[in-house]
A and B are shown apart, each in its own frame.
Chain A
Amino acid sequence: MQFQSWTFLFFFIPVLVLYWAVRGTRLRIPVLLVASYIFYASFNVYFLICLGVVTIVDYLVALQLSRHRSRWLVCVSLLLDLGMLCSFKYIPRVTDFDWVLPVGLSFFTFKSISYVIDVYRGKIAVERNLLSYAAYVAFFPQLVAGPIDRATTLLPQLRHNVPLRIDDVSEGFSLFVTGLFKKAVMADMLAVYVNVMYEDVTSYSGAMRLLAAYAYAWQIYFDFSGYSDMACGIARCMGFRCMLNFNNPYVSVDVRDFWRRWHISLSTWFRDYVYIPMGGSRCGKLRGWFNVIVTMLVSGAWHGATWTFVVWGGLHGLGSVVSSWFDTSGWYGKIPKIIKQIAVFHFMTLTWIFFRAESFGDAFDVIRGIVTWEEGDFFFPPVPFVLIGLVWIYELMWDSRFRWILETRAARVAAAIFVLVCVLLLGGGANSQFIYQQF
């Protein structure tokens, strides 16, 4: 059940009406929980087993932790969650045994892990109501591909009856329409171009490979941030505020800045539960850099059991280290912001080549073709790239002192009409899966 499908519409509207009807009563959480389980079962009813096991075990562990603070209990939870995650992700890769990875497994296990660790660290009070905790883990807008909202922000909204205003619906609608535009128009259109090139890399010229690399950088951004926007929009219509997951990442001025803007819920998760426990930057510069690289390698391996993802993570780790080294030098600060932004975008584009390619061979073919400017087939679709240009200019303006122009009513209304018309004209066709659902 994809967000941009009719099936979801027919699921969500009754859920929304019912949720609004019971919002002031004790039925609020059960309604949300049942809706979330129905949503998840629509992918495969057996996936509910994983969701149920993670929920119940971590709920009990956290309850026990509130009485007796034990590192062993945390280990039990981690062993179960990470064991399940690794089994589903990596066993099919290294053995002949094949099974289907439950959709969104990473996302809800990460939510659950963060809750257990936060209870252990005393950052959050234990949730004694099983239904509330289950609703937190299974919260359907975020269940399949995040954002990985922490218990510190989502659980209080579940515990307390969050006020619901008509403005929430319009703001939720704004988010949803933005996400729909990103996914159904931009990401799906760019995917056509990108897939053509990646299906037969060596047939295409260096120029085409470069354009496809650019296109993929934007495709994955539109795809994933589109999902996040839709998820947050859906949650917002029910009165919930989700954390910001993407903050115009392609206006970043260095790699660390990029990770403060890209998949923020995951990068902060890795920061809080991998990087900081390893010592973070507290143990000296070299150790700090080492920790960054290890964290990024883990992040890469989390995406999939192939070395291309590990290389992708490693490049980001190196990029982050180089960024912090640049920060200590005076000359980097003197470079105009737009030059830094363009340079960072190109570095990201390079790393996405490894992320997208099926194998190292393909990735190197793409890079070799670009570097040696190989001859081959070439075509350039102007419309998708013009749209990318418009979005990029919009984001650069949003990040500049000209932001006020975009905040005027005329600009907002014009943007909304433009987005709606694009969705109506170009948003049809098959409902493709979101890239991050596979992780």
Chain B
Amino acid sequence: MKSILKIQHTNGLWLKPWEWAAVLAVTLIVVWGVLPWWHARHLKIDLPKDFRLSYKLRDDYLLYKSVAAKVVESHPALFIGDSVVWGMYVKNDHTLPAILNSKCGGEEIGNLAVDGLHPVVMESLMREYGKDICDRVVYVYLNPLWMTSPLYDLSGDGELAINHPRLLPQFSGKPACYHASFDDRCKAVWERMIDFEALLHHVRVAFLDNKDVKNHLAKQPDKPLCKQLSLNIEPLETGHSNDSKITWEDAGIAEQDWPWVPLDESRQWRSYLNTLKLLKKRGNVVIAVVGTVNPFMQTTASLEKYHAWRAEALKRLKDDGYKTIDLPELPSEEYGDASHPLAAGYERLADFMMNNGSLHIQQP
């Protein structure tokens, strides 16, 4: 047995238990703790007029955290929502917050919307990365489109490419239609726990064309890593500057017959309420902005259910004590698809908010 227990070493990486403990402690404190802290402290974020988060960086949640902190410093009010608020078919100066700002005559409302941010992931985003959003007026947009069917509502099973999967509940409460591997789900949880992992993701999406550092080093020697990285971030969207004039009819979108998920069974609705509660708990004045879904592309049966559903949602929000904004339906030619307005539609929505006295900028 003695000869068996003898082992040969082919390198010198043999440390005693206490040596490993010290090495691990120092390395992990520096890499996991000091590095993200230093990055957050030195990150310079420029927030130009009519800023909105870059489409490319839409799943860079660490950046979102830093931008949110910066926006909170300089804006008394914020708008949170999905691509309807972000402005899918419009230029930076034609998003709903941008038009409201121009009508108010200042940079009062910060656009913190993210493309694809359905309520389930909005709740996680606010919980994990929106901790700095305190003591402000917060408009939280509800896009009913997420509740048109059990699959989009994430309460049904099936195949669906879910937006922002890393923000979904990964284990307890995981949606049945979310089929990521165990490893990917662990990585998502790990990223939320360790800012350093989120920092690596930030580096990947912000500077390395979505390649990891290893891939970049092996494939892009003409772009040295040290020259790629930067502490100056301009989160303004630059690559999405076309004002689309194509209406939903021009795009050839067919009429839809949606089942609509009852509020009591809706997962997205539950998460939306949780988000409102969370933001309110952080000292914000929360205003629920209930959006519309293109009524012209729905069958009569679907439209009836939709109207009943929407009325019920508004009633429940009011019953829960939230201020609400019941956005009006737009003319057919102002919808780009099922829920996104075109530029004229945003103008109309902004006018509505300005004129009916529902816009609040400062906390009472």
Contact in complex: A417, B23 (CB < 8 Å) = yes
Least Cβ distance of A385 to chain B in Å? 10
Asked whether B15 is an interface residue with its Cβ less than 8 Å from the other chain, the reply is yes
Residue of A nearest to B203 (CB): A425
Asked whether B311 is an interface residue with its Cβ less than 8 Å from the other chain, the reply is no
CB within 8 A of B217: which of A5, A6, A383?
A383
A248→B215 CA distance, assembly (Å): 26
Contact in complex: A420, B12 (CB < 8 Å) = no
Q: Which 9 A-B pairs have the closest CB atoms?
A: A6-B186, A192-B218, A406-B12, A170-B17, A383-B217, A381-B221, A193-B218, A189-B214, A429-B212
Other 14 A-B pairs with CB < 8 A, given A241-B6, A381-B221, A412-B14: A7-B186, A10-B186, A170-B19, A174-B15, A189-B214, A248-B11, A383-B218, A383-B225, A384-B217, A406-B12, A412-B19, A415-B11, A416-B19, A424-B32
A380→B17 CA distance, assembly (Å): 40
Instruction: Provide the A408-424 mask, 1 if CB < 8 A to any CB of B, else 0.
Output: 01011101110111001
Asked whether A166 is an interface residue with its Cβ less than 8 Å from the other chain, the reply is yes
A171→B5 CA distance, assembly (Å): 13
- Residues of A within 8 Å of B5, CB to CB, are 162, 241
Q: List 8 A-B contacts (CB under 8 A).
A: A7-B183, A167-B17, A171-B14, A178-B11, A196-B219, A409-B19, A428-B200, A428-B212
Classify the secondary structure of B's interface with A: helix
With A7-B182, A411-B12 in contact, do A174 and B20 touch (Cβ < 8 Å)?
A: yes
Asked whether A90 is an interface residue with its Cβ less than 8 Å from the other chain, the reply is no
A247→B8 CA distance, assembly (Å): 9
Least Cβ distance of A409 to chain B in Å? 7
B174-201 residues at the A interface, CB under 8 angstroms: 182-183, 186-187, 190, 196-197, 200
Contact in complex: B23, A416 (CB < 8 Å) = yes
Contact in complex: B218, A384 (CB < 8 Å) = yes
CB within 8 A of B13: which of A167, A174, A379?
A174
Asked whether A382 is an interface residue with its Cβ less than 8 Å from the other chain, the reply is yes
CB within 8 A of B19: which of A160, A411, A413, A425?
A413
Asked whether B31 is an interface residue with its Cβ less than 8 Å from the other chain, the reply is yes
Asked whether B16 is an interface residue with its Cβ less than 8 Å from the other chain, the reply is yes
Residue of B nearest to A384 (CB): B218
A385-430 residues at the B interface, CB under 8 angstroms: 394-395, 398, 403, 406-407, 409, 411-413, 415-417, 419-421, 424-426, 428-429
Asked whether B213 is an interface residue with its Cβ less than 8 Å from the other chain, the reply is yes
A429→B187 CA distance, assembly (Å): 10
B4-50 residues at the A interface, CB under 8 angstroms: 4-8, 10-17, 19-20, 22-24, 26-27, 31-32
- Residues of B within 8 Å of A381, CB to CB, are 217-221
Instruction: Provide the B153-185 mask, 1 if CB < 8 A to any CB of A, else 0.
Output: 000000000000000000000000000001100
Contact in complex: B10, A247 (CB < 8 Å) = yes
With A244-B8, A247-B10, A382-B221 in contact, do A417 and B214 touch (Cβ < 8 Å)?
A: no
Contact in complex: A193, B15 (CB < 8 Å) = no
Contact in complex: A6, B187 (CB < 8 Å) = yes
Contact in complex: A170, B218 (CB < 8 Å) = no
Number of A-B contacts (CB under 8 A): 134
With A157-B4, A244-B7 in contact, do A413 and B221 touch (Cβ < 8 Å)?
A: no
A185→B212 CA distance, assembly (Å): 12
Asked whether A153 is an interface residue with its Cβ less than 8 Å from the other chain, the reply is yes
Which A residues are within 8 Å of any B CB, using their own CB?
A: 5-7, 10, 153, 156-157, 160, 162, 166-167, 169-171, 173-174, 177-178, 185, 188-190, 192-193, 196, 241, 244, 246-248, 379-384, 394-395, 398, 403, 406-407, 409, 411-413, 415-417, 419-421, 424-426, 428-429, 431
- Residues of A within 8 Å of B250, CB to CB, are none
A411→B225 CA distance, assembly (Å): 27
Residue of A nearest to B185 (CB): A6
Contact in complex: A424, B215 (CB < 8 Å) = no
- Residues of B within 8 Å of A156, CB to CB, are 1, 4
Asked whether B222 is an interface residue with its Cβ less than 8 Å from the other chain, the reply is yes
A6→B196 CA distance, assembly (Å): 17
- Residues of B within 8 Å of A431, CB to CB, are 183
A248→B225 CA distance, assembly (Å): 30
A210→B200 CA distance, assembly (Å): 32
Interface centre among B12, B24, B196 (most CB of A within 10 A): B12
- Residues of B within 8 Å of A382, CB to CB, are 221
- Residues of B within 8 Å of A189, CB to CB, are 214-215, 217-218
Residue of B nearest to A169 (CB): B17
Contact in complex: A379, B222 (CB < 8 Å) = yes
CB within 8 A of B7: which of A169, A192, A241, A428?
A241
Instruction: Provide the B84-111 mask, 1 if CB < 8 A to any CB of A, else 0.
Output: 0000000000000000000000000000
A190→B219 CA distance, assembly (Å): 10
Interface centre among A166, A403, A428 (most CB of B within 10 A): A428
- Residues of A within 8 Å of B218, CB to CB, are 189-190, 192-193, 381, 383-384
Contact in complex: B13, A412 (CB < 8 Å) = yes
Contact in complex: B221, A379 (CB < 8 Å) = yes
Least Cβ distance of B213 to chain A in Å? 6
- Residues of B within 8 Å of A5, CB to CB, are 183
With A178-B11, A193-B218, A428-B212 in contact, do A170 and B27 touch (Cβ < 8 Å)?
A: no
- Residues of A within 8 Å of B221, CB to CB, are 379-382
Contact in complex: B31, A424 (CB < 8 Å) = yes
Interface centre among B10, B20, B200, B220 (most CB of A within 10 A): B10
A246→B9 CA distance, assembly (Å): 10
Least Cβ distance of A33 to chain B in Å? 21
- Residues of A within 8 Å of B7, CB to CB, are 171, 241, 244
Contact in complex: B219, A177 (CB < 8 Å) = no
Contact in complex: A412, B217 (CB < 8 Å) = no
A192→B221 CA distance, assembly (Å): 13
- Residues of A within 8 Å of B19, CB to CB, are 170, 409, 412-413, 416
With A190-B218, A382-B221 in contact, do A415 and B12 touch (Cβ < 8 Å)?
A: yes
- Residues of B within 8 Å of A153, CB to CB, are 4
Interface centre among B5, B183, B190 (most CB of A within 10 A): B183
Least Cβ distance of B212 to chain A in Å? 5
Residue of A nearest to B213 (CB): A426
Least Cβ distance of A55 to chain B in Å? 22
Contact in complex: B11, A398 (CB < 8 Å) = yes
A419→B15 CA distance, assembly (Å): 13
- Residues of B within 8 Å of A248, CB to CB, are 10-11
Least Cβ distance of A28 to chain B in Å? 16
CB within 8 A of A421: which of B27, B183, B197, B220?
B27
Contact in complex: A416, B11 (CB < 8 Å) = no
- Residues of A within 8 Å of B12, CB to CB, are 398, 403, 406-407, 411-412, 415
Least Cβ distance of A167 to chain B in Å? 7
With A379-B222, A382-B221, A412-B15 in contact, do A170 and B20 touch (Cβ < 8 Å)?
A: yes
A406→B10 CA distance, assembly (Å): 11
